[in-house]
Structure 1
Amino acid sequence: MTPSAAAPARPTGPSGRRTVLVLLADVALPIGAFYGLRAAGLSTYAALIVSTLVPLLSALLQYRRERRLDGMAAYVAAVMLLALAASLVSGSTRFMLAKDGWVTGVAGLWFLWTVRTSRPLAFVGARPLLEGRFRSDGTSWDVLWQDSARFRRIWRVSTAIWGVAMILDGAVRVLMAYTLPVDVVPGLGGLLWPVTLVLLQVVNGVYYEVAGLWRITRSSPSA
């Protein structure tokens, strides 16, 4: 079957719900666990160690349920394990606080690395949410990718925007970890996530409109 004849992949409801669940498991729950453990009298270092296990438990449950890990879950689990091992060896509270910054920064580099690959990460992440939903004429994104140079350029630029933003976000997190009071950093780090994500959505939304993404998805592919 040729790409043009293939049925377009349609977004499904669970994708959005799954994103929310991942955010809760990997962001909100660890922060809540940290402050709950601190209120119970644990040291900052011990509370950080225990709260780090929450995303790992989430990844383990996903693997047990689906017998596989998606790319981001595997990445987060691997980096968290390395950070946890390094922190246990060094005994550094500041290093534990900075781990989210390093994770985010490396993820930003990953985005930048995929800019010139066959499918940039922004394309892969946006497709389940946008394809066939927003003013589309039903043409598969595989066809648009193959036939429209502008469509490919839009997703490469969007991926670069995500990469740069995540690197900057990671740098701010590392700076906070080594300069602010230790008990303040997890909460501020949690608040930084929605700020970064909202700014990214606004910037990308404006760029998609100016670059003509919606015009491409509702009309015939063109170079």
Structure 2
Amino acid sequence: MRRALHAAPEILANFVAPYGVYEMLAAHWGDTDALIASAVPPLLWSFYELAKTRRVDAISVVVVSAILLTVGATFMGGSARLIQMRDAMVTGVVGVMFLATLGMKKPMIFYLARATVARGTADGAAEYELVWERPGVPQVFRVLTLVWGLGLVVQTSCMCWLAWIWPIGRFLLLSPFISFGIFGLLMFWSLGYIARRPAARAILAR
């Protein structure tokens, strides 16, 4: 019950509020302006979450970049469907960033995992660097980065297609569930992939 109450504001800001704002304003403002207004609640929630953590790390950088890209895509204007498609493309940009880091010494997912651990302890980042030295761990991180990068690009393609063929209200209401569903599948696969490799289980250490 407590978890449900704790999650209620996030669900309201990211799922319910955008649809409600659009439906309330579309008749008076038109589709485009109402759609831009519907992006405000989740953006405010994202800034609130960032302000609450008060940390600048790899996760924060990705989140802030996604927020700025979303704001830019939304306020560039154009038709309502074009705005929806540009907003959906933000996830694809993150996916491409993941894939681009495969050419680096350590891919992006390593830094995201390290940032997650560093949030819990003062020396977490330095200690987590030792995880990279374990046999098989670099390969696991590269596979994770490849799958997540491709998964996010596929998610973007799916969202852009639905934004093109669905009514705006239906897309606003259902697209978050689809996005979280794809995210959940990627997370479920990742945990299973790591669990099947004992040497790599330190990746999840906290």
Scaled to the shorter chain, the TM-score interval is 0.7 to 0.9
CA separation of 1:55 and 1:117: change in aligned 2, threshold 3 A: farther
Distance 2:45 2:202 in 1: 38
1:173–1:189: 8 Å Cα contact kept in structure 2?
yes
TM-score by length of 2: 0.74
Q: Kindly provide the CA deviation profile for residues 195-220 of structure 1, in whole angstroms up to 9, marking residues without a partner as x.
A: 112211221122112333456679xx
Question: Alignment partner of 1:119: what SS?
Answer: coil
Using structure 1 for the length normalisation, give the TM-score: 0.69
Please say if residues 92 and 153 of structure 2, whose CA atoms lie closer than 8 Å, have aligned partners that are also in contact: yes
1:164 corresponds to which residue?
Answer: 150
8 Å CA contact 2:92–2:155 kept in 1: the answer is: yes
Residue of structure 1 in register with 2:123 after alignment: none
1:11-160 aligned within 5 A: 24=10, 29-42=13-26, 43-58=30-45, 60-61=47-48, 62=50, 66=54, 70-87=60-77, 90=78, 92-127=79-114, 129=116, 140-145=127-132, 147-160=133-146
Opposite residue 184 of structure 1, the aligned amino acid is R
Out of 183, 192, 195, the position equivalent to 2:181 is 195
Q: How far, CA to CA, are the matches of 1:211 and 1:56 in structure 2?
A: 38
In structure 2, relative to structure 1, the CA distance for the partners of 1:65 and 1:105 (3 Å cut) is closer
The structure with higher relative contact order (CA 8 Å, sep 6+) is 1
Choose between structure 1 and 2: higher helix proportion. 2
SS at match of 2:76: helix
Q: Corresponding residue for 2:171?
A: 185
Q: List gaps (5 residues or longer) in structure 1.
A: 1-16, 134-138, 219-223
The percentage of counterpart residues that share the same residue type is 22
Aligned residues: 187
1-side partners of 2:117 and 2:186: how far apart?
16
Any idea what the Cα deviations from partners look like across 1:92-116, whole Å, max 9, x if unmatched? Answer: 0101221332011111001111223
Instruction: Tell me the secondary structure at the aligned position of residue 167 of structure 2.
Output: coil
Over 3 Å counting, the alpha-carbon distance change for 1:36 and 1:208 in structure 2 is same
* Per-residue Cα deviation, 1:128-181 (whole angstroms, up to 9, x for no partner): 5568x9xxxxx9321231x33411111111111110100000000000011112
Q: Which has the larger radius of gyration?
A: 1
